Amino acid sequence: LITGGSPPMAKRKVLLAPTSLLVALSFALTSAVSPVADAAPKKTLKLLWSDEFNGKKGSLPSSKTWSREIGGGGWGNSERQYYTDKAANASMDGAGRLVITANRISNEYSEQIGEVPGTEDILNRCSECQFTSARMKTARNLSFQYGRIEARIKMPQGVGTWPAFWMLGGDLLDGVPWPECGEIDIMEFRGDIPDRTTSAIHGPTTPQGSGLGAAFLSYDSLSNGYHTYAIEWKKNSITFIVDGRVTGTYSSADTGSRGWVYNQKFFLILNLAMGGTYAGEYIDPMVNQAQLHVDYIRFYSVNGVGKVFRG
């Protein structure tokens, strides 16, 4: 993560350790048969902010909301993309969606593919980068505390894709390092498991490199349609929800009071990585382009709890 003049920070290693993955998948399989209700029946949601991505085709995401991170170098996870601020990597489709596009610029042998201006310069600075892509954040523009955050997303196709919709604690911007700042992964996906997404929290006392998380299984490729990924977040508790069904709930009882670092403002991040420690080192050489489609992102208060902060 680049924050101001700070150096890139590793997002982290692997989302779920093998043991916790089995537990999470077991939970997801059980809930697929006997789904858990989204939340308490008496619940009032009030929309406080949204980005509906209704710009003209080819227009950039709003600079009042999003800043674009630029660079490569693996981001601490052996990733194979170089993030740009170009419309070719993140722009509106003219039909109410944001499209983040990863475009191949070299093969696995670091040989340039295509003649897009600037490619040679990117490869000179990042020889391992096989794609250009985009990573967007709301840091220093918007942050959120408690409430419900949701996004309706269609996943990319192809082995090696690694999109994520996630959050980092605002005190990272004041110099508090990861994982002490806290991380909330609302959605992560890896292209070699096309029917599953995962969610997790990471903090100073969650399992190193794995966090506490749950999985969602759709039994169909998630690139075939849109699904809604959400959290409902209150003091000392975070619940993960996919398509209106709870996949997991975590609280300060799971981390100990010293390890619960989520009672603060967080900012949003949306990105499409290629390869890396979570998605696997292998990227299908036949994948020349991958696209993440985002219909909207919305933030609600829940029963009057939840705030959005600007600046």
| Nearest Cα to Cα of residue 65 among 54, 77, 57 | 54
Local structure of residue 37 (DSSP, 8 states): P
Local structure of residue 222 (DSSP, 8 states): T
Q: Which token pair is 91?
A: 């722009």
Q: Largest Cα–Cα distance in the chain? A: 58
Give dist(CA 15, CA 158) in Å, integer. 19
Collapsing DSSP states into helix, strand and coil, what is residue 303?
A: coil
Q: Which token pair is 13?
A: 């290693």
| Nearest Cα to Cα of residue 44 among 228, 232, 258 | 232
DSSP 131-180: EEE-EEE-TTTEEEESEEEEEEEEPPPSTTEEEEEEEEEGGGGGTPPTTT
Look at the block and give the residue holding tokens 């000392």. Answer: 236
Give dist(CA 82, CA 133) in Å, integer. 6
CA 287 to the chain's CA centroid: 21
Look at the block and give the residue holding tokens 């004041």. Answer: 174
Q: Is the dihedral of CA 51, 190, 114, 109 positive or negative?
A: positive
Annotated active-site residue in 69, 79, 150, 183 = 183
Active site residue 183: yes
CA 252 to the chain's CA centroid: 23
Annotated active-site residue in 69, 79, 150, 188 = 188
Q: Which token pair is 75?
A: 């981001």
Q: Which token pair is 241?
A: 């929800």
Active-site residue set: 183, 188
